[in-house]
Structure 1
Amino acid sequence: MILVLGLSFFLIMLIGAPIMTALGLSAAMALQSGDRSLLIVVQMAFQSLDSFSLMAVPFFILAGHLMQSGGVARRLVQLANAFVGWIRGGLGAVAVLTSLLFATVSGSSSATTAAIGSVLIPEMEKKGYPRSFAASIAASSGELGAIIPPSIPMIVYALTANVSVGALFIAGILPGLLIAVSLILTVCVIASIKGFDEVRALSLKDWTKGVLVALRDATLALMMPVIILGGIYGGLFTPTEASCIAVLYGLALGMFVYKEITLKNLLGIFGRAAVMSAIILLIVAFAAVFAYLLTINQVPQRVAATLGSVTTSPFAFLLLVNGMLFVVGMFIEALAAILIIVPILAPISMSFGIDPIHFGMIVITNLAVGMVTPPVGVNLFVVCEVAQLKMHQLARYLVIFLAVLIVDILIISYVPALSRAFL
């Protein structure tokens, strides 16, 4: 059954079928090969979606779309530009900083990439950035949408590993800041070497004035993560209730304050959010069936026994896990990978004495990097569509950013205090 499951999954993926199709069909074929009822597919899929916490996913997606269409992205760009736009490579740094800020309201890596890339890639080109470099910045910084809270992959991980969503949200703050700072430094170094985006002379008085004006315009947008995270950590509401509040806040902000959302385009916003939510929830449903088949065939126990025979060192174990997750992230979408791999690896990590919240951040940051690695990097597809480029055209600069992100992953893996600092 496991042989049929694995072979059919990869063959279906190779012909270009969506990940949810590959998960569902391979599970059905494996059940048939083992003379099991196909009703298991329906039962497990329904059971996996019958979750109060999982309801947060479509609401956070809708909130992100409302913020994206309601003028929030533009105001966050202006705020980031006021802070760092004057330095060498400033516009590239603005892209990273805006992605960090937008991640606090979107919860989605691809949404962050699309929102920031569509606004800033053309502007970076005007400043002399090669389009491939600008697109690589947008794709790499877009992964912050999966790491900075609120994060949809964090919600799915928490449900899978049975850990606190709120604790994972807090754990993502410092790793997200580490990645953002490292990407900004990388952009500035490359810009200095290549001569992109010259330094603008700016007095302290002018800089302060510009920052204060931008802060005033973006204050209401920045209040959204404060309300959401403050309410969760203050015990006022659950993450699912917070997602509903985020939708109401985003709707009120876009329609009545910024007035950039009208009744005419509201249907389109709801439609796009519904499609994205349906895709994610179908992945969750079919991945649950896939994970069920792995479990009943004792794959987690076999993997645990294999790893235990290879090493007894937590250091070596984390190195093996990072290597495996990096490869998995290249081929499998992040949410599906979480649902398939976490039930196998989370118990093993605990046997090595690794904190489950810290291990969650290792998994999520690895799979977030997978969003910018070919051949199945979601952010790459988004940014190539926005910038009208082929994936291979990004390779020259993307390799540099990937090297920096790998170093970040190793730091997050071996410095658990980063994930535990605020817990």
Structure 2
Amino acid sequence: MNPLILMDAGLLSLLLVIGVPVPFCFAGAVLLLMLFGDFGSTSFLIGAGFNKLNSIVLIAIPLYILAGGIMGSGGIATRLIDLADSMIGRLRGGLGLVLIVTAAVFGAISGMASSAVAAIGTVMIPRMVERGYDRGYAATLVAASSVLALLIPPSASMILYGWVTGTSILACFLAPIVPGLILVSLLAGWNMIMTRKMPIRQPEPAPLRQVGTEVIFRTKKAAAGLMMPLIILGFIYGGITTPTEAAAVAVVYAIPIAIYVYREMNWKDMGQVFWRAAQTSGVLMIMIFFASMLGRIWTLENVPQDILESFLQVSDNPIVLLLLANLFLMIIGMFMEDVSGILLAAPLLLPVMTQAGVDPIHFAAIIATNLGMGLITPPTAPLLYFAALIGKTSLSGMLKPALVFVLFAYLPVVLLTTFVPALSMWLPNLILGLN
């Protein structure tokens, strides 16, 4: 491999480790190659970056970010939490189950793990602490559950993966669903185990009729919010809209719900949500621009082929190749959030996956589960730090439950997803008729 490329990869790793914002890490790596590389005119790199941004698919990402922001600030998330609480909140550890279920539903609207932490964590962590849950555990569960936004469609990460690899976005949406449901079950089971010794104050048992009445009341209040994922997914898989058009429909639907139905926002508040969404989207676009330039150079320098050759030097056994790819993805996930991780890892590892006989749709689920696990894996764990900030707690109090979730919930899902392709391919084959 070109020594300059090795130096460039080292610089990128160093910048990530010391905590430089990810867009500037990519920019620094590109700048090094432009200054010291022998690529002739570098104008083609700038063109490559802008050409990547000139895609109708990418418009969906800021729209889903905006829909998630409206959902969090407009009272939609709170009503979904109240509904889930009325159904299962009286169970032992029930508020933890409420959090997990709500995160899965929220993932079907926002598509962003960080948005789920912000919207759900601000509501659920104080409520859980008030009922006797450990604050560090509550923040950890928020981080672990928010990763479901990567797995439950429509996922911004899967949009990017499909765009980068040229794979059907609809198929990519479907691939991680079954692994996501398995993860929900494992998180719920470990929540029940880990909360047994906590001094949790459970709501008083209520007659079935009273519970039913409360559920009906909460369902009516949350009905408008519950319609959002149904509309989004129904329009996409019903062939009515593309994923980008469905994102626009979600925004148009969410605005009157937040302002006129729930009356939790006014137009001034809406302007602030638009501004925050624009800031987040701007950062993502800058990151995509520089990541596209870096990827173009690395492709020209045959970096994907070099990675494949280095893996094959270890072993040409498909199982070993898959394990090496999983390790590579988990390390990337520990230093980057899912969007930048996909931009970097998907084009680099796809030749390795092809060599191992992995379908690109199956790889979509592998990359989503691996990067999701990396997001909560110490010592870096970007989502843990964000959840600690939201929950006003220290990272030390989150490490033990985080390791339990990583080792006994996420790792089994990653291995099952990797070595049982049917978990990822069943829904795409069933719904899209790929076979």
1:189 corresponds in structure 2 to 193
1:415 corresponds in structure 2 to 420
| Residues 135 and 394 in structure 1, CA contact (< 8 A), matched pair in contact too | yes
Stretch moving more, 70-79 or 37-46: 37-46
In 1, the alpha carbon distance for the partners of 2:66 and 2:202 equals 38
In 2, the alpha carbon distance for the partners of 1:14 and 1:192 equals 37
The answer to whether the aligner puts 1:137 opposite 2:137 as a matched pair is no
Going from structure 1 to structure 2, the CA distance change for 1:324 and 1:12 (only over 3 Å counts) comes to: closer
1:301 corresponds in structure 2 to 305
The answer to whether the aligner puts 1:5 opposite 2:2 as a matched pair is no
In 1, the alpha carbon distance for the partners of 2:185 and 2:86 equals 17
1:64 corresponds, among 48, 64, 68, to 68
TM-score for the superposition, normalised by structure 2? 0.93
Going from structure 1 to structure 2, the CA distance change for 1:173 and 1:212 (only over 3 Å counts) comes to: farther
2:387 corresponds, among 383, 386, 389, to 383
In 2, the alpha carbon distance for the partners of 1:74 and 1:199 equals 18
2:215 corresponds in structure 1 to 211
2:91 corresponds, among 87, 94, 109, to 87
Going from structure 1 to structure 2, the CA distance change for 1:200 and 1:369 (only over 3 Å counts) comes to: farther
In 2, the alpha carbon distance for the partners of 1:196 and 1:45 equals 52
TM-score for the superposition, normalised by structure 1? 0.95
Structure 1 residue 341 displacement after superposition? 1.5
Stretch moving more, 5-14 or 69-78: 5-14
Please list the CA deviations of residues 376-414 of structure 1 after superposition, one character each: whole Å capped at 9, or x if unmatched.
433223211111123233112211111121112112222
Stretch moving more, 154-163 or 28-37: 28-37
Query: What letter matches 1:31 in structure 2?
Result: M
- RMSD of the TM alignment (CA)? 1.7
Structure 1 residue 200 displacement after superposition? 4.5
1:252 corresponds in structure 2 to 256
Please list the CA deviations of residues 130-176 of structure 1 after superposition, one character each: whole Å capped at 9, or x if unmatched.
11111111111011111111111110001111111111112232222
1:339 corresponds, among 314, 320, 343, to 343
Structure 1 residue 40 displacement after superposition? 4.0
In 1, the alpha carbon distance for the partners of 2:204 and 2:423 equals 34
The answer to whether the aligner puts 1:19 opposite 2:22 as a matched pair is yes
Going from structure 1 to structure 2, the CA distance change for 1:305 and 1:288 (only over 3 Å counts) comes to: same
| Residues 176 and 364 in structure 2, CA contact (< 8 A), matched pair in contact too | no
2:244 corresponds, among 240, 246, 267, to 240
Query: What letter matches 2:34 in structure 1?
Result: L
1:352 corresponds in structure 2 to 356
2:33 corresponds in structure 1 to 30
2:431 corresponds in structure 1 to none
2:433 corresponds in structure 1 to none
In 1, the alpha carbon distance for the partners of 2:352 and 2:15 equals 29
Stretches of structure 2 that go unaligned for 5 or more consecutive residues are 429-435
Aligned runs of 1:154-233 on 2, under 5 Å? 154-198=158-202, 200-233=204-237
Query: What letter matches 2:301 in structure 1?
Result: N
Stretch moving more, 295-304 or 10-19: 10-19
Size of the alignment, in residue pairs? Answer: 423
1:286 corresponds in structure 2 to 290
Structure 1 residue 421 displacement after superposition? 2.3
| Residues 384 and 390 in structure 1, CA contact (< 8 A), matched pair in contact too | yes
- Look up the SS of the partner of 1:422 in the other structure: helix
Query: What letter matches 2:79 in structure 1?
Result: R
| Residues 157 and 342 in structure 1, CA contact (< 8 A), matched pair in contact too | yes
In 1, the alpha carbon distance for the partners of 2:272 and 2:307 equals 45
Please list the CA deviations of residues 329-378 of structure 1 after superposition, one character each: whole Å capped at 9, or x if unmatched.
11223222211221121132123221211111110111112222245433
Query: What letter matches 2:135 in structure 1?
Result: R
In 1, the alpha carbon distance for the partners of 2:10 and 2:410 equals 31
| Residues 331 and 375 in structure 1, CA contact (< 8 A), matched pair in contact too | no
Please list the CA deviations of residues 197-242 of structure 1 after superposition, one character each: whole Å capped at 9, or x if unmatched.
4474344333333322222222221111111111111111111111
In 2, the alpha carbon distance for the partners of 1:12 and 1:276 equals 21
Please list the CA deviations of residues 26-52 of structure 1 after superposition, one character each: whole Å capped at 9, or x if unmatched.
111112211334434422221111111
In 1, the alpha carbon distance for the partners of 2:72 and 2:107 equals 11
Structure 1 residue 196 displacement after superposition? 3.2
Aligned runs of 1:322-337 on 2, under 5 Å? 322-337=326-341
Structure 1 residue 15 displacement after superposition? 3.9
Stretches of structure 1 that go unaligned for 5 or more consecutive residues are none
Aligned runs of 1:118-133 on 2, under 5 Å? 118-133=122-137
